[in-house]
Amino acid sequence: MPVTSFNGKVAAITGAGSGMGQWLAILLSRAGCHVAISDVNQTTLDETMKLLDSSVNATSHVVDVADRSAMEAFAAEVNEKHGGINMIFNNAGVSVTGLAEQMPYEDIEWLMNINFWGVIHGCKSFLPFLREAKEAAIVNTSSIFGTIAVPSQSAYNASKFAVKGYTFALRTELADSHIGVSCVQPGGVKTNIVASSRFIPIDNQSETKEELTEMFERMAGKSAEEAAQIILDGVLRNKARILVGKDARVMAWVEKWFPTGYLRLMQALRNRRQLQESTK
């Protein structure tokens, strides 16, 4: 059956050096769940390790989710060190801001390798071990930008739409198994994803990366801790789709009732912002 409690289970988490991944690790450890945390940054992993409950077995792994071999080795190492695996949280993600026409191929490939292929690597690498567990779950992080498309986020949109489609298909394929599959779609959550993103300015009058980061911080409605708690509650309920935040729920509603009509609203908002910038 899907996961019914976290106590005594084993969870692997990618992107656990900060943000939602870090708080997933913290809250899981407090619930008595053993955790294997991974990130590309050893320093941030060390910081997360210090925050985990000392009563559980926690291991740290420097892993690039874009590297298939590294992810396969990660899964095998977690299984060896923890004696089994119940959950994989494919949480690692990055963003690139810029117009589709101007965005370099290299930036698109970098983003897709992490956001989309990282999820595939995580699912396929951990599935053989999850099949051996009595209770198991796969939790893939998409975004509300996997439901609505936003100007300047074409690559990010593409990756998150892909994650949602892949996850829903996988859930259907595993429906008769003991493995639950959930797609997480956060709205604005206070993480460092914008601050650490790649940024291609449209022109000399467009916002700087620092201005976009500040605006995101003001608009983000949930803390990473609150988001992680919502995700874990959804996992225990084996929800197919875990919407995080009021803004995510609103945007999901807008897309449901105006599946293409919302695009006109996006265009109007973009035109308004361009007008404001031209009059500065």
Catalytically active residues are: 156
Give SS3 for 87: strand
Structure tokens at 130: 């999850």
What values do phi and psi take at 76, rounded to 5?
A: -65, -40
DSSP code for 34:
E
Query: Of 118, 121, 120, 96, which is closest to residue 108 (Cα–Cα)?
Result: 96
Using the CB atoms, write b or e for 88-119: b if 16+ within 10 Å: bbbbbbbbbbbeeeebeeebbebbbbbbbbbb
Token duo for residue 233: 């509650």
